[in-house]
């Protein structure tokens, strides 16, 4: 587990972000077509969602390491001032304690929004998530549940995070019936999905793409709105190949789509949004149309969630597939520091895979 000093490193992660775009307004995104909303970055959008959650439900709580002063990424800024130290508070530096506490709080009929400072540090809480939160309803025959629990954790590459400030551990949690796993791609998505997660009657792990906290800016409606869970979204329509991703990786994939278009390849891009339980139907419908599938994520390729998507789609669309399913993902190494640009599933890796899949 990280020392406090290593965690403080997190505060410096954000301002130095560069060279990275994000997948913002997409065709068909109703939120984006409405004009004249203030522009917010992803961090502020999260902050706004937490603000609304606390404001609309007096039984809601926000807590975690360093949450009180605003959090190392500033996502919880101002919440303690407005809603008081009893509802927004620091916890001891102990992830299993944070999640265990959240389960108990949620089981008493509260909305518990727990922050794990980095997804890399969620593992001490793995037992509480897998053996406790996920099975709480089932094992009690629905007498008890901790559905009010939402665990927020910043995840993913950030340019210089090394082993312990960069990981994408979503696949571990996608193997756990009883929890939901949600990852937003942009500020307006983050706000609507986070509010849905907080109010959903099931425990949820919500991974936030920390590279986009400051970098991703778009118009975000000020009002209280929720986006549906377990519904994927086609954010770019195309006919030659389907690309599936989530979170920050979508922006890289979108760039690859634009480059492929120059070569006359029409790509359909899908944001899965909810990884568990996931929307197979939307991906299947798209692959039935294009006959080709590429999945991309930052996490190591072996045992990644891309493998699950690939297997499921092959089961459903075997005869329709024109080429093997491609996976462009992180390498099967620990997340490296100096070698990060080599490790990552970059645009050109994706572009190459698009071309070879289309020309298979």
Partner 1 sequence: MDLQVLDFPGGKVAFTSKMQFISETSEKRVPCYRVLDDYGQQIEYDCSAQVNEELAVKMYTDMVTLQIMDAIFYEAQRQGRISFYLTSMGEEAINIASAAALTNDDIVLPQYREQGVLLWRGFTVQEFANQCFGNKVDYGKGRQMPIHYGSNKHNYFTVSSPIGTQLPQAVGAAYSLKMDKKSACVAAYFGDGGTSEGDFHAGLNFAAVMEAPVIFFCRNNGWAISTHTREQFRSDGIVVRGQAYGIRSIRVDGNDALAVYSAVREAREMAIKDQRPILIEALTYRVGHHSTSDDSTKYRSMDEIEYWKMSRNPVNRFRKWVERNMWWDDKREVELRNDIRNQVLRAIQTAEKCEKPPLSDLFRDVYDTLPSNLHEQESQLRETIKSYPKDYPLDVPV
Residues that bind partner 1 (CB under 8 A): 86, 91-92, 94, 96-97, 99-110, 112, 124, 127-128, 131-132, 135-145, 147, 177-178, 180, 201-202, 230, 277, 280-281
Residues whose CB falls within 8 Å of the CB of residue 344, separated by 6 or more in sequence, listed in order: 157, 298, 330
Minimum Å distance from CB 106 to partner 1?
Answer: 7
Q: Tell me whether residue 30 or residue 86 sits nearer to partner 1 (CB atom).
A: 86
Minimum Å distance from CB 140 to partner 1?
Answer: 4
Is 165 a known active-site residue?
Answer: yes
Cβ neighbour number for residue 270 with a 10 Å cutoff: 26
Q: Tell me whether residue 126 or residue 346 sits nearer to partner 1 (CB atom).
A: 126
For residues 247 and 213, is the Cβ–Cβ distance under 8 A?
A: no
Is 308 a known active-site residue?
Answer: no
Q: Tell me whether residue 123 or residue 225 sits nearer to partner 1 (CB atom).
A: 123
What are the tokens at 268? 């359909």
Alpha helices in the chain (DSSP H): 4-13, 30-33, 42-56, 79-83, 95-107, 126-127, 136-139, 170-173, 187-199, 212-215, 249-262, 280-290, 305-317, 340-343, 347-358
Q: Tell me whether residue 100 or residue 169 sits nearer to partner 1 (CB atom).
A: 100
For residues 43 and 214, is the Cβ–Cβ distance under 8 A?
A: yes
Minimum Å distance from CB 101 to partner 1?
Answer: 4
Tally of residues, the chain: 360
Q: Tell me whether residue 45 or residue 197 sits nearer to partner 1 (CB atom).
A: 197
| C-alpha R_g of the chain | 20
Minimum Å distance from CB 324 to partner 1?
Answer: 24
For residues 204 and 226, is the Cβ–Cβ distance under 8 A?
A: no
User: Which of 51, 65, 95, 115 is flagged as catalytic?
Assistant: 95
Question: How many degrees, rounded to 5, is the angle at CA 125 between CA 122 and CA 126?
Answer: 90
User: Which of 115, 132, 165, 268 is flagged as catalytic?
Assistant: 165
Minimum Å distance from CB 77 to partner 1?
Answer: 22
Q: Which residues are catalytic?
A: 95, 165
């Amino acid at each position: 587990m990280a020392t406090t000093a290593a965690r403080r490193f997190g505060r410096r992660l954000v301002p130095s972000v560069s060279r990275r775009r994000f997948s913002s307004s997409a065709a068909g995104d109703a939120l984006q077509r409405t004009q004249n909303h203030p522009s917010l970055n992803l961090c502020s959008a999260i902050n706004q969602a937490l603000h609304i959650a606390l404001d609309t439900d007096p039984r809601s709580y926000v807590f975690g390491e360093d949450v009180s002063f605003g959090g190392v990424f500033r996502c919880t800024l101002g919440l303690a001032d407005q809603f008081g130290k009893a509802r927004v508070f620091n916890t001891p530096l102990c992830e299993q304690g944070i999640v265990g506490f959240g389960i108990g709080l949620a089981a008493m009929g509260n909305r518990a929004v727990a922050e794990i400072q980095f997804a890399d540090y969620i593992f001490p809480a793995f037992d509480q998530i897998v053996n406790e939160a996920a099975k709480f309803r089932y094992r009690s025959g629905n007498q008890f549940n901790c559905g009010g629990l939402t665990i927020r954790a910043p995840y993913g590459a950030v340019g210089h995070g090394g082993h312990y400030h960069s990981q994408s551990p979503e696949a571990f949690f996608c193997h756990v019936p009883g929890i939901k796993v949600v990852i937003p791609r942009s500020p307006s998505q983050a706000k609507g999905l986070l509010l849905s997660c907080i109010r959903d009657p099931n425990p949820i792990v919500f991974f936030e793409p920390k590279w986009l906290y400051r970098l991703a800016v778009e118009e975000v409606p000020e009002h209280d709105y929720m986006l549906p869970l377990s519904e994927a979204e086609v954010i770019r329509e195309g006919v030659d190949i389907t690309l599936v991703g989530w979170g920050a990786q979508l922006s890289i994939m979108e760039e690859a789509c634009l480059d492929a278009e120059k070569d006359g390849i029409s790509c359909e891009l899908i944001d899965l949004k909810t990884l568990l339980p996931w929307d197979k139907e939307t991906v299947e419908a798209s692959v039935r149309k294009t006959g080709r599938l590429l999945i991309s994520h930052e996490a190591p390729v072996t045992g990644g969630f891309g493998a699950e998507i690939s297997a499921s789609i092959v089961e459903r669309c075997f005869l329709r597939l024109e080429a093997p399913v491609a996976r462009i993902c992180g390498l099967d190494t620990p997340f490296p520091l100096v070698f990060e640009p080599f490790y990552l599933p970059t645009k050109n890796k994706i572009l190459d895979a698009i071309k070879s899949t289309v020309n298979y």
